[in-house]
Structure 1
Amino acid sequence: MPSHPVRFGSSYFARAGQAWRDTFHLYHAEDADSASIRAQHLDYVLRLTPAMMAANLINAALVSAALGFAGRPLLIVWVVLIGLIVATALRSWWRRRKMPRSLASRRAMRHSTWHAGLLGLLWAAVPAMWFASAPAEVRLLIATLTTGMLSAGAFAMGRLPGAALAYLATIVSGSLVGLWAHGGALAAPVSGLLLVYAAICALGAMAAGRQATALLIAQRDATRQQELVSMLLHDFEEHAAEGLWETDAQGRLRYASARTSELFACEPKALHGQVLLQLLGDRSPSHRQALSNAFDRGRPFRNLTIELTGSDGAGWWMLSAKPVAPVNVGDGGWRGVIVDVTDEVSAQDRMRHMAHFDALTGLANRVTLHAHLAQVLSQGERAALMAIDVDHFKSVNDTHGHSVGDALLKAVALRLRTCVRPQDLVARLGGDEFAVLIQTDTTRNGIHALSQRLSEAFAPPCDLGALTLQASVSMGVALTPDHGQAIDELMGNADLALYQAKASGRAQAALYDAQLGETSRRQSAISEALRTAEAEGQLHLHVQPKLAVASGRVVGVEALLRWQHPVLGSVSPAEFVPIAERTGSIGHIGAWVLREACRLAGTQLQGLTIAVNVSPAQLRSAAFEDDVRQALLASGLPPERLELEITESLFIDDAASAVQRLTALRRLGVRIALDDFGAGYSSLGYLRQFSFDVLKIDRQFIGELMTRDDARAIVGTIVQLARRLGMRTVAEGVETEDQLRLLVSLGCDELQGYLLARPAPIAQMRAMVAQAEGLLLTR
């Protein structure tokens, strides 16, 4: 409980102190705003000067008449001093009555305080010197005049709280002196009342001063705000795109900004008095009714867009307006803005077109195709979707550049348009992918006829200006609802048919069938299962020995990847490796094979080399060299015991880059073998660019050794060539003893095949070695 009064008292004195500082801030502030407010306060008091000085003269005359001058020389002096103060105040008022000051210094405020204090001192002398000795009726007059001067002076000087307090303090002091000099039983209570009245007058004067100051500050801020708004409005009207206008209750323009006049192509004076609705209706006849409805409702409206089709030209305006509240009968009207949004509407139209049409060819894009497919499927209509790819388009870009590729795409789009009916939709999906949605003739004969027209349309070369190119397209067709009742399903099946057309030789059309879907689903399942095959321990390595002819001993093995899936069963590498290459999972699978092969070679294949097949996609990865390095470090296997087998397809796209990668691997110390040599894209130039350690003769030639002379000649030539270049030869696919004897006679260095040993888990390595070595020793 005791703490409450303390907090109350502290809070009260804190508030009182803050109020005192706020009241007298103007007496000390040096900024221009404070000087301006001081001037306004002084001018306000100055305007009251004539009335105040007249009251002083009248009161002085009453006091002089009541006291009389006889025997009172001090009264004469007092009257003279009152007259001098009155004359000085009136002289100051006269000089400044037509020239109000704009700024007032702190010194001027102090002068006003001294002047008020001097005036109060003169009036304090009356009760102090003559109240006690005056008759009762004169004392009543003095008390009345003193009280009136006290309250009236505090009220008049309220704008100047310092002056009011000085005036009050001197008069109250003189009054107290007179009261106590007279004495009597009422001196003390009357003195108390006088002090209370004086305090109330002082607080009122201070509050009036603060309130007046706050009012002037608010007026100043409002004036500045109004000036700012006026300046901004003026600047807005000069530079803004919006045209401001205002009409009267009859809809006639009574104000139009410069921009509004510019929009209507009229002088402001010519617009004044014209009916706005008629002006707008003449320029936009198609929206005349909409405009009339908007104004007739009598409610604010925003962003009403109208199309200009009048004689002044085409374009788009946007209007916003609200009714003006009437002040008097017959007042009112509308106030609003007009904005020329022609550029914005045109930009939106362009963006809308870009969102639905291909920028390069002008054909519909994927979004538009999806919308049409959705409509066809929702209505249960029969249609055909033809997926189209430009054959070998990538080579056109790589060989001639993207500008030629773009020109070819435009030519393809033009030929596609000419082959279809107007009711059919031709779309470009991206890159060299196109599609045709056929809704006119969806019979198999109709689809076949269209595909024939497309094939014939691309028979002539495409004239691309400085270049002429022969182009062809592959097509895949899916029918709705037979081959899909959802957009993604239909497009996916059309793509599957397209892949079938490309696999069958390109430049032809293929119709989707269920077998393609089954193949696609299996490939998807394999792709999904490959992601976790390593983590779930489904991958294994089998090995197949390689026998050295000269020593009759097994000198190495080839590591062969095997995958046993719990649902898919045993999946052949010929099936899952291409999928792994296409999906990008070949990287981590190949890295696992390297680590596992090196581990087996280091622990269970002492003294033998181990060969690992490397996919071209795997070798092109920047991480492959690190994979080899990490596998060797982890296993401790000497690099020369690791043999990487690559195929000639690695050199097709970028032979120079391939040589660089192989050279980097060679610096690690590993051996490099060229697999399947003699088949496919064989080129002797590869052997000049990079010196391989081993050439593996393709099993196709080995299989034909006993039936074709040219096969024997080719194998013999490869062996001799390799020997001249310092390379070892390995014949893979040896399956008969006749093949074995012939290969030995031709000088082949190493043999590999089912005759020696089939691929098997490493646990069977001892038996495989005994079989292979025993076969060669007993030949």
Structure 2
Amino acid sequence: MTHNPFSRSLRARLVGATLSTAAIALTALVSLVALRSGQTLSEQGQEISRWSEAQLSGRLLSDAKLAAARLQMQREDVERRFATMAKRWDVSKAVFSGNTVAASELMRPALALADIDGVIAFDINLRALTADRVDAELLSANTALGRTTLASSLRAMMSRNDRDRSVGFVLTLHWDEALAGALAADESGSVADIFGQPLFDDFGEVIGGLVGYRILRPRETTLEAFSALSGRDVLILSGSRVLSSAGAEMPDAALGAPSRSGLQTVLGAEKVARCIPTEHDIRLCVAAPLRELDQIKDKVVGIGEESSRSLLTTLCVVAGLTLFLVAIVLLFLSNRITRPLVRITQTVSEVARGNWHVNVPDVSREDEVGDIARAVVVLEHSLAERDQLRDDVFRKNAILTQREVQLEEQNERFDAALNNMSQGLCMFGASGRLKVFNAQFLGIYGIAPETLGAGPTHAEVKAMAGLVDQFGQGRGVQGRVTTATLADGRCVEITVQPMADGGWVETHEDVTTSVIAQARITHLATHDALTGLPNRALLAERLAAAFSEHAQGGRPVAVICLDLDDFKGVNDTLGHPAGDDLLRQVGARLTALSPPGSTVARLGGDEFALVLSGSDLADGALRLAEEALAQLRRPFIIADQFVAADASLGIAVSSALDAEGDDLLRRADLALYVAKAEGGRRVRAFEPEMEERQHQRRWLERELRLAIDSGQIELHYQPLFELATNTVTGFEALARWHHPERGMISPGEFIPVAEATGLIDALGVYVLKTACAAAMQWPGTLRVAVNISPAQFREGNLDQLVEEVLRTTQLPSQRLELEITESVILNQDQATHDMLTRLRRLGVRFSMDDFGTGYSSLSSLNSFRFDKIKLDQSFVRNLMERDEAAAIVHVVAELGRSLKITTTAEGVETAEQLARLRASGFSEVQGYLLSRPIPAAGVAAFILAQNNLSAAA
């Protein structure tokens, strides 16, 4: 291959262009660096000036904080020495000795050691007792003390201190006439530190307080030492007035406005200062000479200029060396590039002449030359493969023909599968036209095959299927799964699956049966199965929605809770089906009464609730509740019988302070509870006092539980006297509760709470065990009577409990008497009757308590054999005033004699009542006339005294 002049011209142009470009670029770089360096130095000068000012400001701030810390250390040291002086016993003795001369003589050397200017002592009533000066005006100090803040600090200090924990106070105050008068001082000054320490007597009680003061000096020793050590001037300023200074004398120093770094110029002096605030608008400033700022700035600027000169020199040397190296590298590279390019050019010319098998040089090189060589090789191979492609086309045509046959077979199988699907299917192309559908799709919507024509659009197909009203005219349904409701009420679930070519596939399934089932399940989950009314869950949702609207400024909300009275009687007499029918009719009447937009719900059992909203609910809800009460009193026809029903209703209306709907429902339920507690058959609106009573009841329940567990319940014993012999036959055990905070709590207050909460079982066990154990300590065969609540019969193990207590305490069963009310007999079932029978077999005696107050006391005596009947004290109380009461007393006495039952009259308080009962023939009496209930510890002494009286008689 001959030498080509093209290589020489290409090499020269490449080297020349590259070197020229490099030289221009390096020159421009050096010039730009020099220009930028100058600008940077100028900017740095300004920045350094600000930095220097900030550095000096930071140093002065640190010095100011250090000076303030040293002042604080001085104050703490003075406080510590003052506290040591206050704790000396001789100081307390001298202060309260009344000898002001001795006290001042004792305190004066101590004040010098503590570096205190003066001291004054006060007693516990803030009366000045003595001072460090004998001539101190103590009466004036008493008058001036009230005009300062010292009085409150002294009271607080003396109220919170004791001998083991002595805590004083330190105050920094402006020194004025009131403060000087309160401290009986004659010094002058501007600011003073006030130190207070308590004084104790020999028993460790606070008996007074000692107050010392130290006025800020014009030249504080601590600041002088700091100034000498740091070389700084220190000023303490109040406004523009110098209170104290250290270092250079600057009596009339004034500060200029602060800079951005916080520095202030000291006017009239070549200095700058940095200040920090302390108490009462007082500033502590540290000053330095202004030349210190210039020294910092000049030093940093000099370093920057030297660095810039060194940088420019280095750049010039590097630029020259770079040009030299670039020239050498270019000469070498040009020789490596131009020669291979000439060889490749010759090879391409051969290929262009039709020689496809020329050997291409430099194919293995890993640079652009190698890429060009490999491209030429590819070109050769492409031309060689062109002829081979012609042969491949004929072979592939034969393969395509075979595959068309296989595709026809697959289409037949696809049609069979498509038309045997349980779901309707249709496929739309990217243009939105129908391409595929099956028979199930036509059957679901009742579309005739011929009406589809050739490729109808998606909108046309929806119109035929009756889905236009469901999804509009848009392309495809919105979302992947959608349920549509057809005109005949059927529900169709439509699933859309997009395809890669822009089309989509839809599956249509008739889900009417499952939708109906789901709706039924949803209805059952939110409605009462018996009445069809909303249940508690749905009521909570609607109440929350109404309450949310009310919270956003909407209409108020009211809740009416309703509970049928004596519903159990309907179930017991007519049966549960009749009770269910009554609940359905009650729900229907309440629904008919309720205004539009309200909610009537059954909460469970015989309890209903109404949620109302409106502008006049306060009166409207009450009218509606009274109307509901009147409508429910109208007879119901159930099981071909007229059934009367009544109810109790509670009302609560929302207010601006309500937090949520549950609170409103709770208050309505509380009002309902109050209505039932007052006898039922009435309407009660919620009042705040109801909630307070409920809180009180819960408190009582919680405290009663603790009282039973901790043994706070005590038993007192009221004696029973036999009228025939005037002797004591036994004692009635009465529970007494002495609360550690509220004192005595009446049994009439805590017994109903115990019965309602189930605590009566634990209380009854405690009373029974304690009474039987106490009776074992009494002499003779005296009986003990224990009241049994009807609620204690609910567990069904009262007989086992009594038997266990008698066995544990070893009390003979005939000495135990159980007092029960007639309600136990009236409401007894077979289990209660068996329990009473077992107790009777044990030998336990029974007494009917509160006889005469029930509805069927005589029938109760016929149902169960009692050993004693106790006439209710209401008859004894009216014995002397009402003839009816006297007649009843006589009849009960005759009844006891006829049935051979002991008769007891309780509540005897006068001698006349006792005489009348004795004349009527009563067996026993008890009451305050004869004896009040006796604590357990006094029963033995009472029995002994009674035995002595009987022996003397």
What TM-score comes out, normalization by structure 1 length? Answer: 0.62
Report what 2:470 is aligned to: 287
Contact persistence 2:622–2:651 (CA under 8 A): no
> 1:179-209 deviations in whole A, cap 9, x for unaligned?
xxxxxxxxxxxxxxxxxxxxxxxxxxxxxxx
CA shift at 1:737, angstroms? 1.8
CA shift at 1:535, angstroms? 1.6
Question: Structure 1 residues 723 and 515, CA, compared in 2 at 3 Å: closer, same or farther?
Answer: same
Any residues of structure 2 matched to 1:438-587 within 5 Å, and which?
A: 438-442=612-616, 444-464=618-638, 466-481=640-655, 484-587=658-761
One-letter identity of the residue aligned with 1:585:
L
CA shift at 1:702, angstroms? 1.9
Pair 1:303 & 2:481 matched: yes
Pair 1:592 & 2:775 matched: no
Pair 1:627 & 2:819 matched: no
One-letter identity of the residue aligned with 2:444:
L
Report what 2:403 is aligned to: none
CA shift at 1:246, angstroms? 5.2
Aligned mates of 1:772, 1:532 — CA distance in 2: 37
Pair 1:263 & 2:444 matched: yes
Question: Structure 1 residues 452 and 668, CA, compared in 2 at 3 Å: closer, same or farther?
Answer: same
CA shift at 1:320, angstroms? 2.7
1:316 to 491, 504, 522: 491
CA shift at 1:664, angstroms? 1.9
CA shift at 1:399, angstroms? 1.8
CA shift at 1:629, angstroms? 1.9
Question: Structure 1 residues 345 and 611, CA, compared in 2 at 3 Å: closer, same or farther?
Answer: same
Contact persistence 1:547–1:772 (CA under 8 A): no
Report what 2:507 is aligned to: 337
Question: Structure 1 residues 246 and 695, CA, compared in 2 at 3 Å: closer, same or farther?
Answer: same
Stretch of structure 1 that moved more, 515-524 or 439-448:
439-448
| SS of corresponding position for 1:603 | coil
CA shift at 1:558, angstroms? 1.0
Aligned mates of 2:890, 2:643 — CA distance in 1: 43
Report what 2:552 is aligned to: 379
CA shift at 1:625, angstroms? 2.1
Pair 1:393 & 2:559 matched: no
Question: Structure 1 residues 684 and 265, CA, compared in 2 at 3 Å: closer, same or farther?
Answer: same
Question: Structure 1 residues 236 and 707, CA, compared in 2 at 3 Å: closer, same or farther?
Answer: farther
Aligned mates of 1:775, 1:710 — CA distance in 2: 36
One-letter identity of the residue aligned with 1:414:
A
Aligned mates of 1:773, 1:343 — CA distance in 2: 91
CA shift at 1:280, angstroms? 4.6
- Calculate percent identity across the aligned residue pairs: 38
| SS of corresponding position for 1:556 | strand
One-letter identity of the residue aligned with 1:353:
H
CA shift at 1:407, angstroms? 2.0
CA shift at 1:341, angstroms? 2.0
Question: Structure 1 residues 236 and 561, CA, compared in 2 at 3 Å: closer, same or farther?
Answer: farther
> 1:574-616 deviations in whole A, cap 9, x for unaligned?
1222222111221122112222222212234653211111111
| SS of corresponding position for 2:866 | coil
Aligned mates of 1:681, 1:482 — CA distance in 2: 48
Report what 2:310 is aligned to: none
Report what 2:335 is aligned to: none
One-letter identity of the residue aligned with 1:315:
R
Pair 1:347 & 2:517 matched: yes
Aligned mates of 1:463, 1:641 — CA distance in 2: 55
Report what 2:861 is aligned to: 687
Report what 2:591 is aligned to: 417
Contact persistence 2:851–2:857 (CA under 8 A): no
Contact persistence 1:256–1:272 (CA under 8 A): no
1:369 to 535, 539, 543: 539
Report what 1:602 is aligned to: 776
Report what 2:332 is aligned to: none
CA shift at 1:261, angstroms? 5.6
Contact persistence 2:908–2:927 (CA under 8 A): yes
| SS of corresponding position for 2:522 | helix
Aligned mates of 1:778, 1:732 — CA distance in 2: 27
Report what 1:743 is aligned to: 917
Aligned mates of 1:554, 1:337 — CA distance in 2: 97
Pair 1:358 & 2:533 matched: no
Aligned mates of 1:619, 1:663 — CA distance in 2: 13
One-letter identity of the residue aligned with 1:489:
D
| SS of corresponding position for 2:627 | helix
More strand by share: 2
Aligned mates of 2:646, 2:847 — CA distance in 1: 38
| SS of corresponding position for 1:730 | strand
Contact persistence 1:388–1:433 (CA under 8 A): yes
CA shift at 1:767, angstroms? 4.2
Question: Structure 1 residues 288 and 490, CA, compared in 2 at 3 Å: closer, same or farther?
Answer: closer
Report what 2:815 is aligned to: 641
| SS of corresponding position for 2:931 | coil
Pair 1:434 & 2:608 matched: yes
Aligned mates of 1:588, 1:669 — CA distance in 2: 24
Aligned mates of 1:554, 1:427 — CA distance in 2: 61
| SS of corresponding position for 2:763 | helix
More helix by share: 1
Question: Structure 1 residues 686 and 472, CA, compared in 2 at 3 Å: closer, same or farther?
Answer: closer
CA shift at 1:730, angstroms? 1.8
Contact persistence 2:738–2:744 (CA under 8 A): yes
Question: Structure 1 residues 657 and 714, CA, compared in 2 at 3 Å: closer, same or farther?
Answer: farther
Number of paired residues?
Answer: 535
Contact persistence 2:432–2:475 (CA under 8 A): no
Aligned mates of 2:871, 2:647 — CA distance in 1: 37
Note the residue ranges of structure 1 that are not aligned, 5 or more in a row.
1-229, 296-300, 327-331
Question: Structure 1 residues 720 and 319, CA, compared in 2 at 3 Å: closer, same or farther?
Answer: same
| SS of corresponding position for 1:292 | coil
CA RMSD of aligned residues (A): 3.5
CA shift at 1:421, angstroms? 2.3
Contact persistence 2:636–2:644 (CA under 8 A): yes
Any residues of structure 2 matched to 1:200-215 within 5 Å, and which?
A: none
Question: Structure 1 residues 706 and 445, CA, compared in 2 at 3 Å: closer, same or farther?
Answer: same
CA shift at 1:557, angstroms? 0.9
Aligned mates of 1:364, 1:303 — CA distance in 2: 31
Aligned mates of 2:615, 2:577 — CA distance in 1: 36
Aligned mates of 1:453, 1:365 — CA distance in 2: 23
CA shift at 1:627, angstroms? 1.6
| SS of corresponding position for 2:475 | helix
Aligned mates of 2:589, 2:778 — CA distance in 1: 64
One-letter identity of the residue aligned with 2:551:
S
Aligned mates of 1:314, 1:308 — CA distance in 2: 5
Contact persistence 2:813–2:842 (CA under 8 A): yes
Question: Structure 1 residues 642 and 335, CA, compared in 2 at 3 Å: closer, same or farther?
Answer: same
Aligned mates of 2:812, 2:609 — CA distance in 1: 55
Contact persistence 2:826–2:860 (CA under 8 A): no
One-letter identity of the residue aligned with 2:652:
A
Any residues of structure 2 matched to 1:12-411 within 5 Å, and which?
A: 242-243=423-424, 260=441, 262-265=443-446, 277=458, 278-281=460-463, 282-289=465-472, 292-294=475-477, 302-309=480-487, 313-324=488-499, 334-335=504-505, 337-374=507-544, 375-376=546-547, 377-380=550-553, 381-411=555-585
Aligned mates of 1:685, 1:234 — CA distance in 2: 88
